[in-house]
């Protein structure tokens, strides 16, 4: 009897299941293709829900220092809302993230044209980018240390005007350190161009919070950024941030300078919608791209990646025409987007570095979000 009691006591003393994976239907596409939601959860109550439509982050639940949970990622409760208006909400974007000037580029002497979907330019892969397709779940694993799901999408030769068959994967992994990693990979059967990224929208106070993300405090360790023309295409200059609203080398409240007309670039972007040059070339190791904190909830996060540039977008085009999971309207500045990537329009600017991918090579964009519940820790 004593042995039974002792065994029960030892069992009760063991920690709860470290990580879990739950899968459920999330809706059906007009063509009948089913969409799935996969939720990764760790022992601390942190969770990330990924939907196969656009391989998108639909939800991230993060406690604060007192244990109060909030969903810090903008998104929709139903598939129909994602289909009703394309906003790249939490999505994986590609083949080429960001804008391609005129939707045109040349590779090996041959001209290619990508479908236009942003005025005169192609944005995030054109009209039928990777955010608009259903990805396939090809793996889901749970260990004592982490839960992960792998999704795959094969883009055929000529898709949206891009050359070559591109076999793309993304691995979402949530660990016991409250780190959400996103690993993009791709291979091709002929020379092509590729630059994938995540377009997750964040508000550390909660996606239904009445407090704007413009109250968040941001750090970006970059001495230069890329100014843009009237259509948000980089001019080619790497401009010094010193003395400008683009200097986030020391922490600044985002809203402190987002409405100033002292810099014409803020007016062009209707806020921040620019690329910061964190390093001139892809780093040899992961580097910190940004640090964000919310003084109201105490939550904070760091973003690390192996990419040279960081596109920071301050939610300028959220216009209160769509509602979120909590039922409230998403308004301008309600969230921010931080996209580690190659420099925008690099397909047309050799001095920006190459986004070329050849057969036999493997493309990689690795990013890690390190979440912190509050000043007191856990």
Query: What does the pLDDT look like over 28-51, one tens digit per residue?
Result: 999 999 999 999 999 999 999 999
Work out the pLDDT band at 322, boundaries 50, 70, 90. confident
**Is residue 9 included in any domain, yes or no?**
no
Q: What is the pLDDT of residue 2?
A: 39
Burial of 75 (0-12, 13-18, 19+ CB in 10 A): buried
Q: What is the pLDDT of residue 261?
A: 77
* Over residues 229-251, mean pLDDT: 97
Is position 199 annotated as part of the catalytic site? yes
Q: What is the pLDDT of residue 100?
A: 98
Work out the pLDDT band at 8, boundaries 50, 70, 90. very low
**Is residue 5 included in any domain, yes or no?**
no
Work out the pLDDT band at 378, boundaries 50, 70, 90. very low
Query: What does the pLDDT look like over 252-275, one tens digit per residue?
Result: 999 999 988 789 999 999 999 999
Contact 125, 369 (CB under 8 A): no
Distances from the Cα of 225 to the Cαs of 21, 145, 245, 278, 344, in angstroms?
Answer: 39, 37, 11, 8, 11
DSSP class of 11: H
Element (H, E) at 10: helix 2-13
**Is residue 128 included in any domain, yes or no?**
yes
By three-state DSSP, how is residue 80 classified?
A: helix
**Is residue 304 included in any domain, yes or no?**
yes
Catalytic one of 124, 199, 216, 274: 199
Q: Tally the domains of the chain.
A: 1
Lowest mean pLDDT among 6-15, 52-61, 214-223: 6-15
**Is residue 377 included in any domain, yes or no?**
no
Q: Is the pLDDT of residue 168 over 50?
A: yes
**Is residue 12 included in any domain, yes or no?**
no
Tokens of 337: 């987007």
Lowest mean pLDDT among 270-274, 284-288, 294-298, 373-377: 373-377
Query: Domain range spanning residue 178?
Result: 19-372
Which CATH number does the domain housing residue 185 bear?
2.70.98.10
Query: What does the pLDDT look like over 118-165, one tens digit per residue?
Result: 999 999 999 999 999 999 999 999 999 999 999 999 999 999 999 999
**Is residue 13 included in any domain, yes or no?**
no
Distances from the Cα of 307 to the Cαs of 89, 174, 195, 286, in angstroms?
Answer: 21, 21, 10, 8
Distances from the Cα of 192 to the Cαs of 231, 354, 361, in angstroms?
Answer: 25, 11, 11
Per DSSP, helices labelled H in 277-318 are none
- Chain centre to alpha carbon of residue 308: 15
Q: What is the pLDDT of residue 15?
A: 43
Q: For the chain, give the mean pLDDT.
A: 93
Can you tell me the distance from the alpha carbon of 366 to that of 289, in angstroms, rounded to the nearest whole number? 12
Catalytic one of 36, 124, 207, 339: 339
């Amino acid at each position: 009897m004593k042995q039974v009691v002792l065994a029960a006591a030892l069992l009760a003393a063991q920690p709860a299941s470290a990580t879990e994976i739950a899968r459920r239907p999330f809706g059906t596409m007009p063509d009948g293709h089913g969409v799935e939601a996969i939720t990764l959860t760790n022992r601390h109550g942190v969770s990330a829900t990924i939907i196969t439509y656009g391989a998108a982050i639909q939800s991230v639940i993060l406690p604060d220092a007192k244990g109060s949970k909030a969903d810090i990622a903008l998104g929709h409760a139903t598939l129909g809302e994602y289909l009703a208006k394309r906003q790249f909400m939490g999505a994986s974007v590609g083949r080429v993230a960001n804008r391609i000037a005129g939707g045109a580029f040349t590779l090996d002497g041959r001209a290619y044209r990508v479908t236009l979907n942003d005025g005169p330019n192609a944005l995030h892969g054109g009209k039928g980018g990777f955010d608009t397709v259903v990805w396939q779940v090809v793996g889901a694993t749970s260990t004592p240390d982490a839960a992960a799901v792998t999704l795959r999408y094969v883009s055929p030769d000529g898709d949206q005007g891009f050359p070559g068959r591109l076999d793309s994967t993304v691995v979402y992994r949530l660990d016991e350190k409250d780190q959400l990693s996103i690993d993009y990979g791709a291979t091709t059967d002929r020379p092509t161009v590729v630059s994938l990224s995540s377009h997750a929208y964040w508000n550390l106070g909660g996606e239904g919070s009445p407090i704007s993300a413009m109250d968040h405090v941001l750090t970006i360790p970059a001495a230069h950024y890329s100014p843009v023309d009237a259509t948000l295409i980089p001019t080619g200059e790497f401009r010094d941030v010193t003395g400008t609203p683009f200097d986030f080398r020391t922490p600044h409240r985002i809203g402190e300078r987002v409405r100033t007309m002292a810099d014409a670039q803020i007016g062009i972007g209707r806020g921040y919608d620019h690329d910061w040059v964190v390093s001139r070339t892809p780093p040899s190791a992961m580097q910190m791209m940004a640090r964000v904190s919310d003084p109201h909830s105490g939550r904070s996060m760091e973003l690390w990646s192996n990419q040279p540039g960081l596109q920071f977008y301050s939610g300028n085009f959220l216009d209160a025409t769509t509602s979120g999971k909590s039922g409230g309207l998403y308004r301008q500045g309600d969230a921010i987007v931080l996209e580690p990537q190659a420099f925008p329009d690099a397909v047309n600017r050799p001095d920006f570095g190459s986004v070329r991918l050849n057969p036999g090579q493997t493309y990689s964009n690795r990013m890690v979000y390190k979440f912190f519940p509050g000043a007191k820790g856990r």
